[in-house]
């Protein structure tokens, strides 16, 4: 058993309770507009949400490509678990491997795979993410796992931090809201992972420290959320996650956004307001 003293987290690798069973049969698809948000925040916004109990969907630019930035770390962790990598395995690295925004790994030169997964998911540690990439065979290895679970859209190409460049028209390191939501659903709610590993991933992502102002800010505070955020150039700001309302089945939501210039700043309120509209429409 891995003893995680590094992060000071209670139950760091403990499993979360399994998601509730599906709820009611399909109902009418709600109509939600996001055009005013795009105008107000001067951003391109992609939205895909599905109520997994009723099958109702909300989509806006759901099949357009966006840079996925660090949101890919959730699928990367899922790929590590699917490949049955030993979570107790100790991986070592050098000063040259340290990437910007590596709050956990920058002061160490070895971590277990489980510690790397937690660092990548909870604090978006970039060095930890690259260590996970190495465990699955790099971006090509991640792509192979995603193809196995039916995702033929997501396009992994580079490591951190280069994968955040988000150059318009560049297919590298991009996906769509629909594809990201589908893969996340497969890992967190579906059969892409056995139950124990699925619950482990859910348990870690429910304690994400980077998403308080995004999806979590758009849903009632008592609703559990398992999410992963991402930030890149061209104002890229993403959050993908699963939301557990107090009744009914989980909602899977992918929010992806970008702006027109390389150094554009993002506004977290864009994604928070979009999440709120989705939840209001589906519930």
> Which residue's entry shows tokens 């150039």?
233
Backbone φ and ψ of 118, nearest 5°: -65, -45
Long-range contacts of 96-105 (CB under 8 A, 24+ apart): 97/127, 97/130, 97/131, 98/127, 99/126, 99/127, 99/130, 99/160, 99/161, 100/126, 100/161, 101/125, 101/126, 101/161, 102/126, 102/127, 102/128, 104/6, 104/7, 104/128, 105/131
C-alpha–C-alpha distance, residues 199 and 81, integer Å: 11
Helix (H) or strand (E) holding 258: strand 251-258
Q: Among residues 43, 70, 102, 258, which one is catalytic?
A: 70
Alpha carbons 244 and 238: distance in angstroms, whole number: 19
Token readout for 210 is 């980077």
Tracing tokens 């027109």 back to the chain, one arrives at: 260
In angstroms, the CA 163 to CA 149 distance is 22
**Is there a catalytic annotation at residue 70?**
yes
Spot the catalytic one: 115, 118, 135, 160.
160
Residue for token pair 């604090």: 123
Q: List, in sequence order, every residue forming a beta bridge with 111; answer none if it has no partner.
A: 91
- Name the residue among 2, 18, 46 with its Cα closest to residue 278: 46
The yes-or-no answer on residue 39 being catalytic is no
Give the residue numbers annotated as catalytic, written as ranges: 70, 160
């Amino acid at each position: 058993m891995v003893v995680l003293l590094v992060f000071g987290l209670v139950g760091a690798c403990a499993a979360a309770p399994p998601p509730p069973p599906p709820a009611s049969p399909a109902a009418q698809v709600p109509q939600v507009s996001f055009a005013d948000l795009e105008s107000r925040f001067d951003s391109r916004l992609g939205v895909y949400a599905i109520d997994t109990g009723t099958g109702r969907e909300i989509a806006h630019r759901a099949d357009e490509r966006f840079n996925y930035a660090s949101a890919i770390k959730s699928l990367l962790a899922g790929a590590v678990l699917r490949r049955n990598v030993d979570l107790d395995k100790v991986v070592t690295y050098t000063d040259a491997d340290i990437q910007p925004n590596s709050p956990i790994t920058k002061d160490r030169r070895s971590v277990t795979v489980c510690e790397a997964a937690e660092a990548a998911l909870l604090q978006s540690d970039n060095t930890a993410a690259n260590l996970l990439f190495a465990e699955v065979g790099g971006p090509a290895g991640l792509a192979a796992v995603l193809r196995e679970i039916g995702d033929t859209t997501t396009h992994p190409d580079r490591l951190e931090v280069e994968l955040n460049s988000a150059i318009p028209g560049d297919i590298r390191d991009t996906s769509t809201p629909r594809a990201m939501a589908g893969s996340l659903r497969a890992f967190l709610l579906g059969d892409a992972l056995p139950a124990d590993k699925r619950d482990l991933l859910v348990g870690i992502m429910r304690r994400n420290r980077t998403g308080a102002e995004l999806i979590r800010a758009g849903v009632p505070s008592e609703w559990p959320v398992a999410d992963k955020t991402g930030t890149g150039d061209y104002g890229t700001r993403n959050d993908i996650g699963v939301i557990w309302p107090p009744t009914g089945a989980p909602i899977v939501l992918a929010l992806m956004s970008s702006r027109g210039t390389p150094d554009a700043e993002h506004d977290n309120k864009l994604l928070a307001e979009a999440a709120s509209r989705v939840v209001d429409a589906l519930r």
